[in-house]
Structures are given as structure tokens and as C-alpha cells.
Amino acid sequence: MDLKNKKILVTGADGFIGSHLTEELVRQGHDVKTFVYYNSFNSWGWLDHLPKETLKGIEVFAGDIRDPYGVKQAMKGCDVVLHLAALIAIPYSYHSPETYVDTNIKGTLNILQAARELNVEKVVHTSTSEVYGTARFVPITEEHPLQGQSPYSASKIGADQMAMSFFSSFDLPVSIIRPFNTYGPRQSARAVIPTVITQIANGQKTIQLGSLSPTRDFNYVKDTVRGFLSVAQSDRSIGEVINIGSNYEVSIGQTVEFIAELMGEKIHIETDNQRIRPEKSEVERLWADNSKAKNLTGWHPEYGGVEGFKRGLSETIEWFTNPVHLSQYKAGIYNL
């Protein structure tokens, strides 16, 4: 699919990945509409921090993904929907699981039903590597069993299955993109990389963290954004689930060492029990097989391997250590 002359709706555009995706779509000259979470402060999240010239290039719709009427209104006139709106924090899902069902499953249903009624040309639904749970084999292909090890991951499994059911039942042109752990500028401090950077940047020598042994396949946000565009443009992606990952496995402990090295600091790590997941809920190992993405869409990571990871970390550190950006984070408080 050629995205030129297509009206593209990005849900969750006020968030971390959504704002980067919106920015890139505008940069490429696309006709972009954004769906942001309504609030009385009229805040558009990270979109408020984009250059004014970029903001001039987008239409903003404030609503709630849980409201089917508002969702359908936002989607009218749109040809392509990139659906990122979701609740994503795993610890928060332990004590408020119903909100994850409402937002992630029912919210996705609202998108799919409206897309069906409005004859939308393509829906790209956002999944997560968390749906795989602890790897039973590596690298993880799209055929890996799904394991709901947290209410969050269970809700995303439900949303993914709902999306695929609309493809199977109604021939809705749906693609599922499954990014592995995305990091980069603007990420919430609930994630490990911003947590470490902001603590060090604020002068802390003892860093509060959870478990260091789990491994992750970190994906720099620029690669994730290119993944979205590749999946949206590929007709071969319809009806498919596609991993977007770097195919590089690294432990949390090694990641912390890389960050400290790049920031030129010596640190001591202290375990904070509130940051440790319940034993059966912790995903111990993630490592992406990205061959399907390469075969179907031509996408490949530009920040892959140890050198690519360090390059992405350096760009992330540069952004977070800017005093203007750092001041927006509460480094001394555990962020769910």
C-alpha cells in the first residue's frame, strides 16, 4: 500500500512511540490525524513538545479509546489506522486489571468495529513481546506459544486475538506488529533504561532497580517507527503477526553497565523489592527472530547488535540529560 494521499490516524499519538511515529509521518509529508486521551488540561502528551511546524501538520482528536462512539467519529474519513493506544505498565496491571481489559481489549474492539463499518483500508494493531512470556525457545518466532504472565500481557493477547478474529471473520485488512522492548527519548521512567539514566543524571550513585538477570531484545524507537511504516505499507503483512526486534539479547544487568559506562559514572546497584515482579510473572528471557519482518516488509534494524544498542543508548542519554527534559522526570520516585 502506498501511504501517499491516504489519511492516517494514529491512536495513542500522545505517548512515547506514538509521538515519534506521528513526527515521522509528518516529516514524510503524510496526511495525519491523531487520537489523544481527553483530559481537562487540554494536554496532548508528548505531542505538546513537538516543534510548532510539526504540530501544524496534524489534526488532533481528543477522546477515549474505550468510547465506541468517539472512536468511530475520530476514524471517519481515515484510510489507515495505526492503533497504539493502550495501557502498558505491567506493575499497574497487578492492582487495576479491569482497566486493562477495558482499554486494551475493548478499546481494540472499538477500533476494529469502526474500521469494519467505515471500510477502512488497513488497520495496524500494536502487540507486544510480553505476550510470549518467558521464552520457551530462542530466537522467538511468531509461532511461539502465547503466555499471559501478567494481566497486561493477558489483555494484549486478548486484543491480538480480537484483531485476528476480525481478519478471519470479516476479511478486515488487519496487520499485527509485535515490537520487542522499545526504548529512546520520551520513554516513561517506568521502563528500566530511563529509570537508570534519570537516576544517574540526577547524581545518584546508588541505583534502585529490580531483577537484573532477565534478558531483553531492546529496539531503538527509530527502528520501531520504521517497523510501523514498513508493516503499514506492505500488502503481504495483512493477516500476519510480525515481530519487530533487533535480534540481539542482553541482560538488564549488562544494560545498566553499558549505560553507566556511556555516562562515565561508577554506580552501585541496590535491589528495590517493590520493583520485582512476582516470581511466576517475571518474563525471564526475550530474544526476537526478525526474519519474518525482513521477508514480508524488507524491514531490518539499523540499531542492531551491541554497537547499534550502544549507539541507541547514547542518543537516549543525550536526550534525557538535557536539563529541560530531565526536569520532567521524578527520578527519586518509583514510577509504576
Distance between CA 95 and CA 86 in Å, rounded?
16
Among the listed ranges 27-36, 86-95, 196-205, 206-215, which one has the minimum average pLDDT value? 206-215
Distance between CA 22 and CA 182 in Å, rounded?
16
pLDDT reported for residue 333: 74
Give the pLDDT mean for 162-173. Answer: 98
Alpha-helical (H) ranges within 131-220 are 151-170, 192-201
- Res. 190: pLDDT tops 90: no
Q: What is the chain's mean pLDDT, rounded?
A: 96
Centre a 10 Å sphere on the Cβ of residue 300 and count the other Cβ atoms it contains.
Answer: 16
**What is the phi/psi pair of residue 332, to 5°?**
-85, 0
Greater pLDDT, 269 or 10 = 10
Residue range 7-182+219-244, CATH number: 3.40.50.720
- For the segment 272-282, what is each residue's pLDDT rounded down to a tens digit? 777 777 889 99
pLDDT reported for residue 178: 98
Q: Residue 135 corresponds to which amino acid?
A: A
Comparing CA positions, the residue from 82, 44, 81 lying closest to residue 63 is: 44
pLDDT reported for residue 277: 79
pLDDT reported for residue 278: 87
**Confidence label for 336 from pLDDT (cuts 50, 70 and 90):** low
pLDDT reported for residue 249: 98
Give the pLDDT mean for 28-49. Answer: 97
- For the segment 75-104, what is each residue's pLDDT rounded down to a tens digit? 999 999 999 999 999 999 999 999 999 999
pLDDT reported for residue 331: 78
Cβ atoms of 283 and 214 closer than 8 Å: yes
pLDDT reported for residue 203: 93
Give the pLDDT mean for 257-285. Answer: 89
**Confidence label for 211 from pLDDT (cuts 50, 70 and 90):** confident
pTM above 0.95? Answer: yes
- Res. 334: pLDDT tops 80: no
Distances in whole angstroms, Cα of residue 251 to Cα of each of 170, 194, 221:
42, 16, 19
Cβ atoms of 177 and 229 closer than 8 Å: no
Q: Where are the domains of the chain?
A: 7-182+219-244
Give me the count of residues in the chain.
336
